[in-house]
């Protein structure tokens, strides 16, 4: 497939997530797609992506993914994006706060036959938690190192 086809598939994913049409969104992923950076407890494959995006759009019904920068070749699409939304449903065990979030993220998808077969990426999950007014349940490796160096 061409880079234009892959960009179109990536755009299809974002547009359908933004519309809350998760069944259509996950068609952008191959059934056995590998997520190298899954969310906590996320199952494998397309079903894992479906579970992730369902939780996201249930927790943030007005969730919007806005691409800020796209780089592509015939096999890969990298997208820097902004995610916004209002916390109106449970998210990672956090009860709704009614607060809005705005965080940045990056995704790299490797495509084959017009679908994402591998995904690498990260959203600012700490930023989400901070904007919701909650503390993370565990400290990151960097925070643990800072504590150790401070003592």
Share of the chain above pLDDT 90, in %: 83
For residues 41-64, average pLDDT? 95
Q: For 3-150, CATH number?
A: 3.10.450.50
CB count in 10 Å sphere of residue 83: 20
Q: What is the pLDDT of residue 135?
A: 75
Closest CA to 26 of 59, 50, 2: 50
Q: If you search the block for the tokens 């992923």, which residue do you land on?
A: 29
Per residue in 113-124, pLDDT (tens digit) is 999 999 999 999
CA distance 119 to 37: 7
For residues 112-138, average pLDDT? 90
Given a cut of 80, whether residue 71 has pLDDT beyond it is yes
Distances (CA, A) of 71 to 1, 7, 80, 94, 108: 16, 9, 9, 34, 9
Domain coordinates of the chain in residue numbers? 3-150
Given a cut of 70, whether residue 42 has pLDDT beyond it is yes
């Amino acid at each position: 497939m061409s880079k234009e086809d892959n960009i179109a598939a990536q755009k299809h994913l974002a547009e359908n997530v933004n519309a809350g049409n998760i069944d259509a969104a996950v068609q952008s992923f191959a059934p056995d797609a590998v997520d190298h950076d899954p969310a906590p407890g996320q199952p494998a494959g397309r079903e894992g992506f479906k579970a992730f995006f369902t939780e996201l759009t249930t927790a943030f019904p007005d969730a919007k993914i806005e691409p800020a920068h796209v780089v592509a070749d015939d096999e890969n699409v990298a997208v820097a994006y902004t995610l916004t939304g209002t916390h109106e449903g449970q998210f990672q065990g956090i009860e709704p706060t009614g607060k809005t979030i705005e965080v940045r993220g990056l995704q790299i998808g490797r495509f084959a036959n017009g679908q994402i077969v591998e995904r690498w990426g990260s959203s600012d999950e700490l930023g989400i938690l901070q904007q919701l007014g909650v503390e993370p349940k565990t400290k990151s490796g960097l925070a643990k190192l800072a504590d150790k160096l401070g003592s």
